[in-house]
């Protein structure tokens, strides 16, 4: 049997760091308020002229190097983003050209904060069916470009960054299962209410901003992530105690802690970066995964649960043996 196994990870964060104290100077908020409600202390914000693909390229190169392969070995690119460089072509195609890769499938996936899990699941299916041998899977965002920096309820939450993995065909166990869901009934609880085919004047005026009903999103997220933990464990006939690491989407420390409690898992087995990165949407899981792999916490052979929840609503999980 062929498995899809993570061969290398990489990540990149813009140099520009914005702290809660910095935001106190821009909007009516406080460091204490942000920390208590979200756990966030700072976030990285892309510099003017720095694009989603710029961030993704750096993360991709690190993942390819870590995998010990050449860029030309990549035969599939799946790119998760909500903030693409252009309406078209896709970020995946733009990145493909930058990496000097030609001919392989390359496409974007839009599932907001669940985008990386959706992309990982998609690439895994390509590998399991023999359609790909080495896939580059990326989550990258410049979410700061769709924030209203006068809205204190949203601008304090998000940051920019990119993470990537190389997924390769292997006889060794890799991704054990993936689970994807969506429910569009909740669309207006977390969305950008305008786009190319809807209120394009707002887009042209630079007013295409994130809108969120935070309390409602929090409640649905906690309940949904609890259910997907059960679904993932049941599908693999696995006990909670068999999970070595939880790498969650980094949206809010309270949501992360609730998922850890669901797993009866101490927080020292949970990879947490939200305090330093904020919510980087599709980039948050690969950023956290790369950090934990590179600092030696996540070791080969350990069982890792990835889970995410995002606008749509979308949600998903991936269970893997690293």
Q: What pLDDT is recorded for position 175?
A: 98
- 183 and 106 assigned to the same domain: no
Enclosing domain of residue 157: 3-171
- 202 and 118 assigned to the same domain: no
Q: What average pLDDT does the segment 63-72 reach? A: 98
- 149 and 182 assigned to the same domain: no
Q: What angle do CA 162, 164, 166 make, to 5 degrees?
A: 170
- 255 and 284 assigned to the same domain: yes
Q: What average pLDDT does the segment 177-189 reach? A: 97
Residues identified as active-site: 113, 249, 279
The overall average pLDDT reported for the chain is: 97
d(CA 141, CA 280): 7
- 184 and 151 assigned to the same domain: no
- 18 and 146 assigned to the same domain: yes
- 7 and 148 assigned to the same domain: yes
pLDDT digits (tens, 9 = 90+) for 295-318: 999 999 999 999 999 999 999 999
Q: Which of 118, 148, 171 is the last residue of a domain?
A: 171
Q: What pLDDT is recorded for position 220?
A: 95
Q: Which of 171, 190, 211 is the last residue of a domain?
A: 171
Percent of the chain with pLDDT over 90: 98
- Domain of 315, CATH number, reads 3.40.47.10
Q: What pLDDT is recorded for position 294?
A: 98
How many domains is the chain partitioned into structurally?
2
- 194 and 138 assigned to the same domain: no
- 216 and 84 assigned to the same domain: no
- 261 and 132 assigned to the same domain: no
pLDDT digits (tens, 9 = 90+) for 230-267: 999 999 999 999 999 999 999 999 999 999 999 999 99
- 153 and 67 assigned to the same domain: yes
Q: What pLDDT is recorded for position 164?
A: 99
Task: Report residue 211: phi and psi, to 5°.
Answer: -125, 135
- 32 and 154 assigned to the same domain: yes
Q: At 1, is the pLDDT very low, low, confident or very high (cuts 50, 70, 90)?
A: confident
Q: At 23, is the pLDDT very low, low, confident or very high (cuts 50, 70, 90)?
A: very high
Q: What pLDDT is recorded for position 11?
A: 98
Q: Which of 145, 171, 197 is the last residue of a domain?
A: 171
pLDDT digits (tens, 9 = 90+) for 270-295: 999 999 999 999 999 999 999 999 99
Percent of the chain with pLDDT over 70: 100
Q: What pLDDT is recorded for position 59?
A: 99
């Amino acid at each position: 049997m062929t498995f899809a196994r993570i061969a290398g990870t990489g990540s990149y964060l813009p140099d520009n760091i914005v702290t809660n104290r910095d935001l106190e100077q821009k909007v009516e908020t406080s460091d204490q308020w942000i920390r208590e409600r979200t756990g966030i202390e700072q976030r990285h914000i892309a510099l003017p002229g720095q694009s989603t693909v710029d961030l993704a390229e750096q993360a991709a190169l690190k993942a390819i190097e870590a995998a010990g392969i050449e860029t030309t070995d990549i035969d599939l690119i799946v790119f998760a983003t909500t903030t693409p460089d252009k309406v078209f072509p896709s970020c995946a195609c733009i990145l493909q050209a930058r990496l000097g890769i030609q001919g392989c499938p390359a496409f974007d996936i839009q599932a907001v904060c669940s985008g990386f899990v959706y992309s990982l699941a998609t690439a895994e299916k390509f590998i399991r069916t023999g359609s790909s041998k080495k896939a580059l899977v990326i989550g990258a965002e410049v979410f700061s470009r769709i924030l209203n920096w006068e809205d204190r309820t949203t601008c304090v939450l998000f940051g920019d960054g990119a993470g990537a993995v190389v997924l390769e065909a292997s006889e060794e166990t890799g991704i054990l299962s993936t689970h994807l869901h969506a429910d569009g009934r909740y669309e207006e609880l977390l969305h950008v209410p305008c786009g190319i085919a809807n209120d394009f004047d707002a887009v042209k005026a630079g007013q295409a901003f994130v809108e969120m009903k935070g309390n409602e999103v929090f409640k649905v997220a906690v309940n949904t992530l609890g259910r997907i933990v059960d679904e993932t464990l049941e599908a693999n006939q696995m006990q909670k105690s068999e999970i070595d690491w939880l790498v969650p989407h980094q949206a809010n420390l309270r949501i992360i802690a609730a998922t850890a409690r669901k797993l009866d898992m101490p927080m020292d087995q949970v990879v947490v970066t939200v305090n330093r990165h904020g919510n980087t949407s599709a980039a948050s899981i690969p950023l956290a995964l790369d950090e934990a792999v590179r600092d030696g916490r996540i070791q080969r052979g350990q069982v890792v649960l990835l889970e995410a929840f995002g606008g749509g609503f979308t949600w998903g999980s991936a269970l893997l043996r690293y």
